[in-house]
Amino acid sequence: MIRGQRDTLHYLRPPSPPPLSTKPPRLIIIGAGSRGRVYGRCALQSSNGVVAAVVEPDDFKRREFGKIFIWGNQEPPEGSQFADWPDFIAWELRRREREKAGEKVPDGVDAAFICVRDEMHHDVAVALAPLGLHIMCEKPLATTLEDCMNMYRVLAPHQKDNVFSIGHVMRYSPHNILLRKLLLEDKAIGDILSVVHTEPVGFWHFSHSYVRGNWRKESVTAPSLLTKSCHDIDLILWLLCSPPPGSTEPPHLPATISSSGSVQFFKKSRKPKAAGNATNCLSCPVEKDCIYSSKRIYVGTEYQGIESGNFRWPVNVVLPDIESYGDDLAKVRAALMPKLAEDYSASTPQEVIDGQNWFGRCVFESDNDVCDEQIVTMTWDDDPLPSNSSNNSTTVGDRGSKQATFHMIAQTKKQCQRYTYVHGARGEIYADSRTITVEDFRTGETRTYRPKMESLGHGGGDHGLTRQFVLAVDRVKNHGWRAEEAQREFVGCSLEEIIRSHAVVFAAEEARTGKKVVDWKPWWEEKVGQFEI
């Protein structure tokens, strides 16, 4: 045992759902896919709001969502379901006209959760802004810097009246909230000198989402650093850039950003020779020995296939109407196997290839082009603030030079179980998905914290983000708070911070593709400064 070692168990109990107000915030979920269902469930279990409406083009998914979260076994009430978001906007505008004319109409909604595909976030948010709704947009904000900045231009004028949040769920887990407190408020290891943060995506998880699935092509969606890891970059900036709670200090902005990465593994040159010309798992001679076999992932018991009893993610992405088959494994299998057999050839039109996912496609023959491994390095220069002393000297304090390294890697057994090393002037911290261990160089003590997770969804971050956003909406709707005050108190993240963390991702991608180091200040002034953020 190390001298002075002490294992201190600190359990943080998640708060109970807040009490309902007389008129609870009414929520609409736009997009009833996996993230939409997560926010619907979190709203019911952890917030003081009610899910009042859903937008979803798929009939089955829309009906199932409504049955679970809105109308149960009753008939859907007016204004509770829409096939597309323009339909909802048109209905809401008519509802307001009818109400103004004195007609008795259904209650409208107060807030929207945007959970459509990434490339649609911009159009939906911009269209919603004139309605004056509070908005929570799933990450990323948008898939290009230009769209992010246009969203800022449209949304910023509404900030005095409306709360805006982003799906950076990592800010809201008890684990990361405690980590930030230890670093910035308790000064547990003194000045921060270096952070090394790793996101292990998981070998078959990456193949599902970024080789065969929605996010496999940058031209269709965006780089994997944005679609998968933008909230990891945001977490680093939250720890190293944003000032502590209650502080009026300006943010400590990065000095440089660099990055390297590529399609390192999932490419044709890595294909086993014995696989020959096979392009689909179901016709591949080495399928039984391949860890990326679609049968192994979606059907078998080894991962999370249907034979393990799992009818949820990732299987329900391949077979969206899986719930319609009940618990009949034979029927599910019969419906699933043709999906896995789908493939394309040289004669398949490009728009068809881009327009759907190919979950049985050989991972070494796919059309994926997003990085399956990437490293981002950020540095900060000394940036001292004026001292409160009478001689007007300066003090560096926590604004000394430092650096951070982020590593996203696909080839891991761990699946999104992030881990972080923080090195400070007086100690160091190791944080994984469940524990935080503080080594104090002065005393020789080791303190271990185990924050209680509210759920497995990002360590409770899904519930935390939903609760805080809806609480902010409730304060504005029912308690007379200004939106800016509620945003600061409950969301804890401004629209400006959201833009900054996304801009860092785009700067990193420019550094990677250009094989250069980005000088942050002039880059920001050139790319973003015109918007006066």
Given this structure, which CATH class describes domain 26-170+463-493? Answer: alpha beta
Report pLDDT for 531.
Answer: 66
pTM: 0.93
Report pLDDT for 243.
Answer: 82
The string of DSSP codes covering 465-492 is HHHHHHHHHHHHHHS---HHHHIIIII-
What is the share, in percent, of the chain residues with pLDDT greater than 70? 93
State the SS3 of 313-340: CCHHHHCCCHHHHCCCHHHHHHHHHHHH
Q: Please determine, for residue 395, whether its predicted confidence score (pLDDT) is greater than 70.
A: no
CATH code 3.30.360 for 191-265+369-424+498-531: yes
Query: Which residues make Cβ contacts (< 8 Å) with residue 335, sequence separation at least 6?
Result: 319, 321, 322, 325
Per-residue pLDDT of 424-444, as tens digits, reads: 999 999 999 889 999 999 999
Per-residue pLDDT of 332-366, as tens digits, reads: 999 999 999 999 999 999 999 999 999 999 999 99
* Mean pLDDT calculated for residue range 45-65: 95
Cβ atoms of 292 and 282 within 8 Å: the answer is no
Cβ atoms of 50 and 18 within 8 Å: the answer is no
Report pLDDT for 242.
Answer: 85
Bigger pLDDT: 186 or 385? 186
Query: Which residues make Cβ contacts (< 8 Å) with residue 134, sequence separation at least 6?
Result: 25, 110, 111, 112, 162, 163, 164, 469, 472, 473, 476, 483
* Residue 244 confidence class, pLDDT cut points 50, 70, 90: confident
* Mean pLDDT calculated for residue range 242-265: 91
Domain ranges of the chain: 26-170+463-493, 191-265+369-424+498-531, 268-354
Report pLDDT for 128.
Answer: 98
Q: What's the rounded Cα separation, in Å, for the pair 468 and 172? A: 8
**Helix residue ranges per DSSP H, 302-416:** 315-318, 329-341, 350-354
Q: What is the mean pLDDT of the chain?
A: 92
DSSP state of 21: P
Per-residue pLDDT of 293-320, as tens digits, reads: 999 999 999 998 999 999 999 999 999 9
Cβ atoms of 178 and 450 within 8 Å: the answer is no
Q: What's the rounded Cα separation, in Å, for the pair 251 and 240? A: 9
Per-residue pLDDT of 80-126, as tens digits, reads: 999 999 999 999 999 999 999 999 999 999 999 999 999 999 999 99
Token couple for 221: 């969606």
Q: What's the rounded Cα separation, in Å, for the pair 471 and 24? A: 10
* Mean pLDDT calculated for residue range 491-496: 94
Report pLDDT for 16.
Answer: 72
- Starting at the edge strand that comes first in sequence, how are the strands of the sheet with 436-440 ordered? 446-449, 436-440, 427-431, 419-424, 192-200, 402-409, 373-380, 256-262, 518-519
Q: Which range among 14-28, 31-45, 379-393 shows the weakest confidence by mean pLDDT?
A: 379-393
* Mean pLDDT calculated for residue range 490-495: 94
Q: Maximum CA pair distance of the chain?
A: 80
C-alpha pair distances (Å), 309 with each of 38, 69, 221, 312, 323: 20, 23, 32, 9, 13
* Residue 15 confidence class, pLDDT cut points 50, 70, 90: low
Q: Please determine, for residue 161, whether its predicted confidence score (pLDDT) is greater than 50.
A: yes
DSSP state of 117: -
Q: Which residue's entry shows tokens 């940036």? A: 383
* Residue 389 confidence class, pLDDT cut points 50, 70, 90: very low
Token couple for 117: 């595909």
